[in-house]
Structure 1
Amino acid sequence: MLYEHFDLIESIGLDLLFASIFFFIGMAIKDVLKQANVPPFGRKIVWLVLFLGCAGFIAKGLIQLSWEGSGLN
């Protein structure tokens, strides 16, 4: 049973790993911005860049799912 679903378990685990990495990166950036007294405009730019990185990762996953679903592997 486990061997049959190994690919699914592996992909879910990898997605959870990346989600936790993004969470910890966000917490580290929040701490650095707080301690460095960065102005509000700079904070918004930093969070925008972090969000775009996450959005790119999510877009890549959605594109990959759509290509695999249509048979374009």
Structure 2
Amino acid sequence: MLYEYMDLLESIGLDLLFASIFFFIGMAIKDVLKQGNVPPFGRKIVWTVLFLGCAGFITKGLIQISWEGTGLG
């Protein structure tokens, strides 16, 4: 029975792995910005870039799900 759901478990595990990596990257960037006394404008730029990276990953996942649902993928 586990072999039937192997693809689903693999995709969920990979998504959780990427989410945890993004979380740890965010924590590391927060620490570096705090210790480096970065001005507020620079912090906003850094967080915007990080957010756009996460948003791109989420958008890619949603597009992949919608294409697989319609039979394109």
- The normalised TM-score by structure 2 is 0.98
> As a proportion of its length, which structure holds more helix?
2
1:18 aligns with 2:18: yes
Which structure 2 residue ranges, 5 or more long, are not aligned?
none
Amino acid at match of 1:68: E
Moved over 4 A (4+): none
The reply to whether residue 5 of structure 1 matches residue 5 of structure 2 is: yes
Q: Distance in 2 between matches of 1:13 and 1:71?
A: 23
Structure with greater contact order relative to length (CA < 8 Å, sep ≥ 6): 1
Cα RMSD after superposing both structures:
0.4
Q: How many residues align?
A: 73
Distance in 2 of aligned mates of 1:13 and 1:60 = 16
Shift of 1:54: 0.1
